[in-house]
Amino acid sequence: MKPGDQDLLIVVDLQYDFLPGGALAVPHGDAVIAPINRLARAFRHVVLTQDWHPAGHASFASSHPGKQPFDLVDLHYGSQVLWPDHCVQGTKGAEISGELNIPHAQLVIRKGYNEGIDSYSGFKEADRQTSTGLEGYLRERGFQRVFCAGLALDFCVAWTAMDAASAGFETYLIEDASRAIDTNGSLEKARQDLEAAGVRTINSAQIINP
Ligand SMILES: [Zn+2]
């Protein structure tokens, strides 16, 4: 499946806070950097997402007295996993890793900047109403197929891929170029949800060595 002009790679949240030593480190998150750098060379079109929260964001456990990271709370739009403070706007942890080597990336889409709403997806915030504008961008650019990779597979990569599929794009999740957090069965649930959404799971070798 050699990427062509209507194919887009979305690299999700390759930020210091999700990498080893970061505030919300994904286990072995740094293992995705080399495969993503290789993959990105095969794509003419690449978009990066960047988790980008104001201090005091509703997804932070520290914003909910008595709660701990990974607890669940009910917010106005539904159930929300609470996280350690991470990817606060303007901090080092929110920066995209300098080891990512994709100088030809065309767009960085920031998400999670509304104080009261989380946004795992690069397309739609967790209230499932508020759009980031990415769907319109993809349509206007004429993309047909979307390939997703990055961190974390069971949250931001999965939700981005599912929203791409539900927007009508032929969508692939590149598994060996993604890593999961896997809290409370989240990885198994994500796999089921991805399959139900019609997202196809592939490995980077199918793109790089077809
Ligand atoms: Zn976040």
Alpha helices (H) along the chain: 33-42, 134-141, 158-166, 186-197, 205-208
Average pLDDT along the chain = 97
At 132 the pLDDT is: 97
pLDDT digits (tens, 9 = 90+) for 40-70: 999 999 999 999 999 999 999 999 999 999 9
22 pLDDT above the threshold of 90: yes
Burial readout 68-85 (b: 16 or more C-beta within 10 A, e: otherwise): ebeeeeebebeebbbbbb
CA of 159 to the centre of ligand 1 (A): 13
Return residues with CB closer than 5 A to ligand 1 (ion).
Answer: 51, 112
- 113 CA to centre of ligand 1 in angstroms: 9
170 assigned to some structural domain: yes
Catalytic residue list contains 13:
yes
Q: Show the domain range for 135.
A: 7-52+84-206
Residue 75 placed within a domain: no
In a domain, 106, yes or no: yes
- Pick from 33, 42, 28: which is nearest to 205 by CA? 42
The catalytically annotated residue of 51, 111, 124, 154 is: 111
**E strands of 24-155, at which residues?**
46-51, 72-75, 78-81, 107-111, 145-151
- Give residue 87's pLDDT band: very low, low, confident or very high (50, 70, 90): very high
Q: Tell me how many domains the chain contains.
A: 1
- 148 is known as an active-site residue: no
Residue 209, pLDDT score: 77
Please report whether residue 65 resides in a domain. no
* Residue 128: CATH number of its domain: 3.40.50.850
Condensed to tens digits (0 to 9), the pLDDT of residues 111-168 reads: 999 999 999 999 999 999 999 999 999 999 999 999 999 999 999 999 999 999 999 9
- The predicted pLDDT at position 1 comes to 86
CA distance 124 to 26: 22
Domain assignment present for residue 194? The answer is: yes
- How far apart are the CA of 156 and the centre of ligand 1, in A? 9
Question: According to the model, what pLDDT value does residue 59 have?
Answer: 97
Centre of ligand 1 from the C-alpha of residue 85, in Å: 8
Predicted confidence at residue 210, as pLDDT, reads 58
Residue 21, domain member (yes or no): yes
Averaged pLDDT for residues 80-87: 97
Whether residue 111 lies in the annotated active site: yes
Report how far residue 206's alpha carbon sits from residue 3's, in angstroms, rounded to the nearest whole number.
11
Does residue 132 lie within any of the structural domains? yes
* Residues 165-183 pLDDT 10s: 999 999 999 999 999 999 9
Asked if residue 74 belongs to a domain, the reply is no
Of 7, 13, 17, 154, which residue is the catalytic one? Answer: 13
Can you tell me the mean pLDDT for 18-34?
Answer: 98
Percent of the chain beyond pLDDT 70?
A: 100
